[in-house]
Structure 1
Amino acid sequence: MSRTALFVIDIQRALADSPGTEISHARRIRDAGASILDKVRANIDEAQSRGEAPGLEIIVVQHEETRDKGNLQLGTRAWQLVFPPHPSPHETLVSKNIRDTFESNPGLADELRARNVGTIVAFGIQSECCVLSTCKGALAADFRVVLLKGAHSTYDAEGKTAEEIEREVEEELRNEGAEVVDWNKWSKGWD
Protein backbone atom coordinates (compact mmCIF):
# COMPACT_ATOMS: atom_id res chain seq x y z
CA MET A 1 0.00 0.00 0.00
CA SER A 2 1.25 3.46 -0.91
CA ARG A 3 2.26 5.82 1.89
CA THR A 4 1.62 9.56 2.35
CA ALA A 5 4.18 12.29 3.02
CA LEU A 6 2.86 15.41 4.74
CA PHE A 7 4.85 18.45 3.56
CA VAL A 8 4.95 21.29 6.11
CA ILE A 9 6.23 24.11 3.89
CA ASP A 10 8.17 27.12 5.20
CA ILE A 11 6.25 27.75 8.42
CA GLN A 12 9.10 29.82 9.75
CA ARG A 13 9.25 32.58 12.38
CA ALA A 14 9.49 35.53 9.95
CA LEU A 15 6.46 34.33 8.00
CA ALA A 16 4.28 32.88 10.74
CA ASP A 17 5.35 34.15 14.16
CA SER A 18 6.89 37.63 14.02
CA PRO A 19 4.82 40.81 14.30
CA GLY A 20 5.69 43.10 11.42
CA THR A 21 6.76 40.39 8.97
CA GLU A 22 4.27 37.53 9.41
CA ILE A 23 1.48 36.93 6.92
CA SER A 24 -1.91 38.31 7.91
CA HIS A 25 -3.38 34.82 8.49
CA ALA A 26 -0.41 33.52 10.48
CA ARG A 27 -2.56 32.50 13.45
CA ARG A 28 -4.83 30.41 11.20
CA ILE A 29 -1.82 28.64 9.72
CA ARG A 30 -0.25 28.04 13.14
CA ASP A 31 -3.53 26.69 14.56
CA ALA A 32 -4.21 24.46 11.55
CA GLY A 33 -0.59 23.26 11.52
CA ALA A 34 -0.64 22.37 15.21
CA SER A 35 -3.88 20.42 14.82
CA ILE A 36 -2.77 18.60 11.66
CA LEU A 37 0.60 17.64 13.13
CA ASP A 38 -0.95 16.46 16.41
CA LYS A 39 -3.27 14.10 14.52
CA VAL A 40 -0.61 12.82 12.14
CA ARG A 41 1.90 12.24 14.95
CA ALA A 42 -0.76 10.44 17.02
CA ASN A 43 -1.52 8.23 13.99
CA ILE A 44 2.19 7.42 13.54
CA ASP A 45 2.55 6.63 17.26
CA GLU A 46 -0.56 4.44 17.21
CA ALA A 47 0.70 2.43 14.23
CA GLN A 48 4.07 1.94 15.90
CA SER A 49 2.42 0.83 19.16
CA ARG A 50 0.67 -1.92 17.19
CA GLY A 51 3.97 -2.94 15.60
CA GLU A 52 2.88 -1.66 12.19
CA ALA A 53 4.68 0.59 9.74
CA PRO A 54 2.97 4.00 9.70
CA GLY A 55 1.21 5.00 6.49
CA LEU A 56 2.38 8.57 7.03
CA GLU A 57 5.59 10.50 7.33
CA ILE A 58 6.27 14.18 7.88
CA ILE A 59 8.58 16.29 5.72
CA VAL A 60 9.32 19.68 7.28
CA VAL A 61 10.57 22.09 4.62
CA GLN A 62 12.76 25.04 5.62
CA HIS A 63 13.69 27.82 3.20
CA GLU A 64 17.15 29.40 3.38
CA GLU A 65 18.09 32.72 1.81
CA THR A 66 21.26 34.72 1.45
CA ARG A 67 21.36 38.20 2.99
CA ASP A 68 20.79 39.85 -0.40
CA LYS A 69 17.73 37.65 -1.15
CA GLY A 70 15.75 37.95 2.11
CA ASN A 71 15.59 37.54 5.85
CA LEU A 72 15.43 33.73 6.10
CA GLN A 73 19.16 33.42 6.66
CA LEU A 74 20.55 30.23 8.16
CA GLY A 75 20.69 30.39 11.95
CA THR A 76 18.63 33.55 12.40
CA ARG A 77 15.39 33.74 14.42
CA ALA A 78 13.51 34.62 11.20
CA TRP A 79 14.71 31.33 9.64
CA GLN A 80 13.68 29.14 12.62
CA LEU A 81 10.78 26.74 12.26
CA VAL A 82 7.50 27.15 14.12
CA PHE A 83 7.03 23.34 13.89
CA PRO A 84 10.46 21.70 13.97
CA PRO A 85 10.54 17.98 13.22
CA HIS A 86 10.48 15.59 16.17
CA PRO A 87 13.39 13.19 16.54
CA SER A 88 11.76 10.29 14.74
CA PRO A 89 12.54 8.11 11.73
CA HIS A 90 9.17 9.29 10.38
CA GLU A 91 10.02 13.01 10.36
CA THR A 92 12.56 14.58 8.04
CA LEU A 93 13.90 18.12 7.71
CA VAL A 94 14.48 19.23 4.11
CA SER A 95 16.21 22.52 3.36
CA LYS A 96 15.72 24.41 0.14
CA ASN A 97 16.93 27.63 -1.44
CA ILE A 98 14.42 27.93 -4.29
CA ARG A 99 10.64 27.70 -4.30
CA ASP A 100 10.25 24.09 -5.48
CA THR A 101 11.40 21.66 -2.79
CA PHE A 102 11.88 18.93 -5.42
CA GLU A 103 13.99 21.08 -7.74
CA SER A 104 16.10 22.24 -4.79
CA ASN A 105 16.57 18.59 -3.71
CA PRO A 106 16.96 16.54 -6.93
CA GLY A 107 17.09 13.16 -5.17
CA LEU A 108 14.05 13.74 -2.97
CA ALA A 109 11.44 12.21 -5.29
CA ASP A 110 13.46 9.00 -5.62
CA GLU A 111 14.03 8.85 -1.84
CA LEU A 112 10.29 9.17 -1.22
CA ARG A 113 9.43 6.53 -3.82
CA ALA A 114 11.99 4.19 -2.20
CA ARG A 115 9.99 4.61 1.04
CA ASN A 116 6.81 3.73 -0.90
CA VAL A 117 5.40 7.29 -0.79
CA GLY A 118 2.83 7.85 -3.51
CA THR A 119 0.94 10.85 -2.16
CA ILE A 120 2.18 14.29 -1.15
CA VAL A 121 -0.12 16.32 1.10
CA ALA A 122 0.95 19.95 1.41
CA PHE A 123 0.28 23.01 3.53
CA GLY A 124 2.24 26.07 4.60
CA ILE A 125 3.45 29.46 3.45
CA GLN A 126 3.44 31.21 0.83
CA SER A 127 0.57 29.93 -1.28
CA GLU A 128 1.64 31.37 -4.64
CA CYS A 129 5.36 30.80 -4.10
CA CYS A 130 6.79 27.76 -2.34
CA VAL A 131 3.50 25.93 -1.75
CA LEU A 132 2.47 26.20 -5.41
CA SER A 133 5.95 25.42 -6.74
CA THR A 134 6.44 22.41 -4.46
CA CYS A 135 3.02 21.01 -5.39
CA LYS A 136 3.84 21.45 -9.08
CA GLY A 137 7.21 19.77 -8.52
CA ALA A 138 5.44 16.83 -6.85
CA LEU A 139 2.98 16.57 -9.75
CA ALA A 140 5.84 16.67 -12.26
CA ALA A 141 7.47 13.81 -10.31
CA ASP A 142 4.23 11.80 -10.71
CA PHE A 143 3.04 11.94 -7.12
CA ARG A 144 -0.62 12.25 -6.23
CA VAL A 145 -0.90 15.73 -4.67
CA VAL A 146 -3.37 17.02 -2.09
CA LEU A 147 -3.34 20.69 -1.04
CA LEU A 148 -4.92 21.38 2.35
CA LYS A 149 -7.41 24.24 1.95
CA GLY A 150 -7.39 26.63 4.90
CA ALA A 151 -3.89 25.53 5.93
CA HIS A 152 -1.91 27.58 3.39
CA SER A 153 -1.75 31.35 2.96
CA THR A 154 0.35 34.31 1.94
CA TYR A 155 0.57 38.10 2.04
CA ASP A 156 -1.91 40.43 0.34
CA ALA A 157 -0.19 41.36 -2.93
CA GLU A 158 -0.72 43.08 -6.27
CA GLY A 159 -4.18 44.35 -5.33
CA LYS A 160 -5.36 40.90 -4.20
CA THR A 161 -6.14 39.68 -0.72
CA ALA A 162 -4.42 36.62 0.66
CA GLU A 163 -7.73 34.76 0.40
CA GLU A 164 -8.04 35.59 -3.31
CA ILE A 165 -4.50 34.36 -3.90
CA GLU A 166 -5.23 31.16 -1.93
CA ARG A 167 -8.27 30.45 -4.15
CA GLU A 168 -6.30 31.15 -7.34
CA VAL A 169 -3.56 28.74 -6.27
CA GLU A 170 -6.15 26.08 -5.39
CA GLU A 171 -7.80 26.47 -8.80
CA GLU A 172 -4.48 26.37 -10.64
CA LEU A 173 -3.45 23.18 -8.86
CA ARG A 174 -6.87 21.57 -9.43
CA ASN A 175 -6.46 22.31 -13.14
CA GLU A 176 -3.07 20.56 -13.06
CA GLY A 177 -4.44 17.44 -11.40
CA ALA A 178 -4.06 18.07 -7.68
CA GLU A 179 -6.85 17.60 -5.17
CA VAL A 180 -7.83 20.41 -2.82
CA VAL A 181 -9.29 19.20 0.46
CA ASP A 182 -10.30 21.16 3.55
CA TRP A 183 -7.63 20.53 6.17
CA ASN A 184 -10.20 19.65 8.87
CA LYS A 185 -11.77 17.02 6.64
CA TRP A 186 -8.40 15.55 5.68
CA SER A 187 -7.03 15.41 9.21
CA LYS A 188 -10.21 13.77 10.57
CA GLY A 189 -9.40 10.84 8.35
CA TRP A 190 -6.37 10.14 10.58
CA ASP A 191 -8.27 10.06 13.89
Structure 2
Amino acid sequence: MDIAENAALVVVDVQKGFEELDFWGSRNNPEADDNIAALIDVWQSTGRPVVYVRHDSRKPGSPLRTGYEGNGFKEYVEQRRGKGSGAELLVTKTVNSAFLGTPDLGAWLRAEGVSQIVVAGIQTNMCVETTARMGGNLGYEVLVAYDATYTFDLEGPFGWRQRADELARASAVSLHGGGFAQVVTTADVVAAAK
Protein backbone atom coordinates (compact mmCIF):
# COMPACT_ATOMS: atom_id res chain seq x y z
CA MET A 1 0.00 0.00 0.00
CA ASP A 2 1.28 3.45 -0.90
CA ILE A 3 0.30 6.48 1.17
CA ALA A 4 1.08 9.73 -0.62
CA GLU A 5 3.25 12.30 1.16
CA ASN A 6 0.29 14.70 1.05
CA ALA A 7 -2.54 12.19 1.58
CA ALA A 8 -5.24 13.79 3.73
CA LEU A 9 -6.69 12.05 6.76
CA VAL A 10 -10.42 12.83 6.99
CA VAL A 11 -11.62 12.29 10.57
CA VAL A 12 -15.41 12.13 10.40
CA ASP A 13 -17.71 13.11 13.29
CA VAL A 14 -15.66 11.86 16.25
CA GLN A 15 -17.97 13.70 18.64
CA LYS A 16 -18.93 13.33 22.30
CA GLY A 17 -22.59 12.85 21.42
CA PHE A 18 -21.83 9.38 20.08
CA GLU A 19 -21.04 8.28 23.64
CA GLU A 20 -24.75 8.60 24.51
CA LEU A 21 -25.61 4.94 23.99
CA ASP A 22 -29.14 5.40 25.39
CA PHE A 23 -29.80 7.41 22.24
CA TRP A 24 -27.82 5.36 19.69
CA GLY A 25 -27.99 1.80 21.03
CA SER A 26 -25.34 -0.91 20.85
CA ARG A 27 -22.13 -0.16 18.96
CA ASN A 28 -19.35 -2.27 17.51
CA ASN A 29 -15.55 -2.04 17.43
CA PRO A 30 -14.52 -0.73 20.86
CA GLU A 31 -10.94 -0.32 19.52
CA ALA A 32 -11.99 2.32 16.98
CA ASP A 33 -11.07 5.34 19.12
CA ASP A 34 -7.53 4.03 19.73
CA ASN A 35 -7.15 3.41 16.00
CA ILE A 36 -8.42 6.89 15.09
CA ALA A 37 -5.95 8.40 17.57
CA ALA A 38 -3.10 6.34 16.05
CA LEU A 39 -3.96 7.62 12.56
CA ILE A 40 -4.05 11.25 13.71
CA ASP A 41 -0.71 10.76 15.48
CA VAL A 42 1.06 9.36 12.41
CA TRP A 43 -0.46 12.02 10.15
CA GLN A 44 0.68 14.78 12.46
CA SER A 45 4.16 13.30 12.97
CA THR A 46 4.70 13.04 9.20
CA GLY A 47 3.34 16.51 8.41
CA ARG A 48 0.41 15.27 6.35
CA PRO A 49 -2.87 17.23 6.24
CA VAL A 50 -5.69 16.36 8.65
CA VAL A 51 -9.33 17.28 8.10
CA TYR A 52 -11.62 17.25 11.14
CA VAL A 53 -15.30 16.95 10.25
CA ARG A 54 -18.05 17.88 12.72
CA HIS A 55 -21.73 17.10 12.26
CA ASP A 56 -23.90 20.03 13.37
CA SER A 57 -27.27 18.32 13.62
CA ARG A 58 -30.38 20.42 13.05
CA LYS A 59 -32.59 17.89 14.88
CA PRO A 60 -33.69 19.31 18.27
CA GLY A 61 -33.11 16.10 20.27
CA SER A 62 -29.90 14.98 18.61
CA PRO A 63 -26.82 14.51 20.81
CA LEU A 64 -24.90 16.17 17.93
CA ARG A 65 -26.98 19.35 17.84
CA THR A 66 -25.23 22.71 17.79
CA GLY A 67 -24.88 24.28 21.24
CA TYR A 68 -25.08 20.94 23.05
CA GLU A 69 -22.00 19.42 24.72
CA GLY A 70 -22.25 16.33 22.53
CA ASN A 71 -21.55 18.45 19.44
CA GLY A 72 -17.92 18.84 20.52
CA PHE A 73 -15.13 16.51 19.49
CA LYS A 74 -14.16 13.67 21.80
CA GLU A 75 -11.37 14.68 24.17
CA TYR A 76 -8.59 12.73 22.44
CA VAL A 77 -9.39 14.45 19.15
CA GLU A 78 -9.66 17.91 20.68
CA GLN A 79 -6.30 17.42 22.41
CA ARG A 80 -4.64 16.64 19.06
CA ARG A 81 -6.12 19.47 17.01
CA GLY A 82 -3.56 22.10 16.04
CA LYS A 83 -0.62 19.94 17.12
CA GLY A 84 0.66 18.72 13.73
CA SER A 85 3.05 20.43 11.34
CA GLY A 86 0.86 19.74 8.30
CA ALA A 87 -2.17 21.63 7.05
CA GLU A 88 -5.36 21.30 9.07
CA LEU A 89 -8.98 22.00 8.21
CA LEU A 90 -12.25 22.00 10.16
CA VAL A 91 -15.32 21.14 8.07
CA THR A 92 -18.81 21.47 9.53
CA LYS A 93 -21.80 19.79 7.93
CA THR A 94 -25.48 19.09 8.42
CA VAL A 95 -25.72 16.12 6.03
CA ASN A 96 -23.87 12.80 5.69
CA SER A 97 -21.05 13.77 3.32
CA ALA A 98 -18.04 15.83 4.37
CA PHE A 99 -17.92 16.98 0.74
CA LEU A 100 -21.18 18.90 1.34
CA GLY A 101 -19.92 20.86 4.32
CA THR A 102 -18.36 24.26 4.99
CA PRO A 103 -15.79 25.14 3.83
CA ASP A 104 -15.81 23.15 0.58
CA LEU A 105 -13.67 20.06 1.24
CA GLY A 106 -13.14 19.28 -2.45
CA ALA A 107 -11.93 22.81 -3.19
CA TRP A 108 -9.52 22.67 -0.25
CA LEU A 109 -8.14 19.27 -1.28
CA ARG A 110 -7.61 20.52 -4.85
CA ALA A 111 -5.86 23.66 -3.60
CA GLU A 112 -3.57 21.48 -1.45
CA GLY A 113 -2.86 19.17 -4.42
CA VAL A 114 -4.34 16.17 -2.57
CA SER A 115 -5.56 13.22 -4.64
CA GLN A 116 -5.59 10.52 -1.93
CA ILE A 117 -7.69 10.53 1.24
CA VAL A 118 -7.90 8.17 4.18
CA VAL A 119 -11.29 8.20 5.90
CA ALA A 120 -11.92 7.21 9.53
CA GLY A 121 -14.56 8.05 12.13
CA ILE A 122 -18.23 7.59 12.98
CA GLN A 123 -20.59 6.05 11.73
CA THR A 124 -19.20 3.40 9.36
CA ASN A 125 -22.42 2.99 7.36
CA MET A 126 -23.51 6.63 7.48
CA CYS A 127 -21.14 9.60 7.24
CA VAL A 128 -17.96 7.57 6.75
CA GLU A 129 -19.49 5.57 3.90
CA THR A 130 -21.17 8.59 2.29
CA THR A 131 -17.95 10.63 2.42
CA ALA A 132 -15.98 7.71 0.95
CA ARG A 133 -18.52 7.15 -1.84
CA MET A 134 -18.54 10.82 -2.80
CA GLY A 135 -14.75 10.95 -2.65
CA GLY A 136 -14.57 8.02 -5.04
CA ASN A 137 -17.15 9.60 -7.33
CA LEU A 138 -15.16 12.84 -7.36
CA GLY A 139 -12.02 11.02 -8.49
CA TYR A 140 -10.05 10.79 -5.26
CA GLU A 141 -8.18 7.64 -4.34
CA VAL A 142 -10.04 6.73 -1.16
CA LEU A 143 -8.89 4.39 1.59
CA VAL A 144 -11.21 3.58 4.48
CA ALA A 145 -9.50 2.48 7.69
CA TYR A 146 -12.23 -0.01 8.58
CA ASP A 147 -11.17 -0.67 12.18
CA ALA A 148 -10.92 3.09 12.81
CA THR A 149 -14.69 3.34 12.35
CA TYR A 150 -17.74 2.17 14.25
CA THR A 151 -21.50 2.21 14.06
CA PHE A 152 -24.65 1.21 15.92
CA ASP A 153 -27.46 -1.33 15.57
CA LEU A 154 -30.17 -0.02 13.27
CA GLU A 155 -33.75 -0.78 12.31
CA GLY A 156 -34.88 -0.29 8.73
CA PRO A 157 -37.99 -1.09 6.70
CA PHE A 158 -40.29 -4.07 7.34
CA GLY A 159 -39.00 -4.37 10.90
CA TRP A 160 -35.61 -5.50 9.61
CA ARG A 161 -32.91 -4.96 12.18
CA GLN A 162 -29.16 -5.20 11.62
CA ARG A 163 -26.45 -5.40 14.25
CA ALA A 164 -23.64 -2.87 14.11
CA ASP A 165 -21.08 -5.49 13.00
CA GLU A 166 -23.35 -6.56 10.14
CA LEU A 167 -23.88 -2.98 9.00
CA ALA A 168 -20.16 -2.21 9.16
CA ARG A 169 -19.29 -5.31 7.10
CA ALA A 170 -21.98 -4.49 4.55
CA SER A 171 -20.53 -0.97 4.20
CA ALA A 172 -17.03 -2.37 3.75
CA VAL A 173 -18.22 -4.81 1.08
CA SER A 174 -20.18 -2.11 -0.77
CA LEU A 175 -17.30 0.38 -0.69
CA HIS A 176 -14.54 -2.08 -1.57
CA GLY A 177 -16.48 -4.39 -3.88
CA GLY A 178 -18.21 -1.46 -5.58
CA GLY A 179 -14.93 0.28 -6.35
CA PHE A 180 -15.64 3.41 -4.28
CA ALA A 181 -12.73 2.87 -1.90
CA GLN A 182 -10.08 0.44 -0.78
CA VAL A 183 -11.01 -0.87 2.66
CA VAL A 184 -7.90 -1.42 4.78
CA THR A 185 -6.73 -1.82 8.38
CA THR A 186 -5.30 0.91 10.58
CA ALA A 187 -2.09 -1.10 11.10
CA ASP A 188 -1.50 -1.29 7.33
CA VAL A 189 -2.14 2.43 6.87
CA VAL A 190 0.12 3.39 9.79
CA ALA A 191 2.93 1.13 8.54
CA ALA A 192 2.69 2.57 5.02
CA ALA A 193 2.48 6.18 6.23
CA LYS A 194 5.58 6.09 8.49
- The residue identity in structure 2 corresponding to 1:57 is P
Q: Distance in 2 between matches of 1:31 and 1:96?
A: 24
Q: Is the 8 A contact 1:14 1:21 kept in 2?
A: no
1:99: which partner in 2? 96
User: Does the alignment pair 1:5 with 2:8?
Assistant: yes
Matches within 5 A, 1:158-177: 158=155, 159-174=161-176, 175-177=178-180
Q: Which residue of 1 aligns with 2:144?
A: 147
**2:82 aligns to what?**
86
CA apart distance, 1:59 = 0.3
Distance 1:91 1:26, change over 3 A: farther
Equivalent residue for 1:38? 41
Distance in 1, Cα, partners of 2:188 & 2:115: 20
Distance across 2 between alignment mates of 1:5 and 1:21: 31
Corresponding residue to 2:125 among 105, 117, 128: 128
TM-score (norm 1): 0.84
Q: Which residue of 2 aligns with 1:65?
A: 57
**1:108: Cα distance to partner?**
2.2
CA contact (8 A) 2:153 2:162 kept: yes
Q: Give how far 1:178 is off.
A: 1.1
TM-score (norm 2): 0.83
Pairwise CA distance, 1:69? 6.3
The two structures, once aligned, show a CA RMSD in angstroms of 2.1
Report the equivalent of 1:29: 32
Gaps of 5+ in 1: 45-55
Q: Distance in 1 between matches of 2:5 and 2:134?
A: 19
Does residue 109 of structure 1 match 2:101?
Answer: no
Which one-letter code corresponds to 2:27 in the other structure? S
Whether 2:134 is the aligned partner of 1:137: answer yes
Of residues 80-89 and 115-124 in structure 1, the stretch that sits farther from structure 2 once superposed is 80-89
Count of paired positions:
179
Deviation at 1:137, TM superposition (A): 1.4
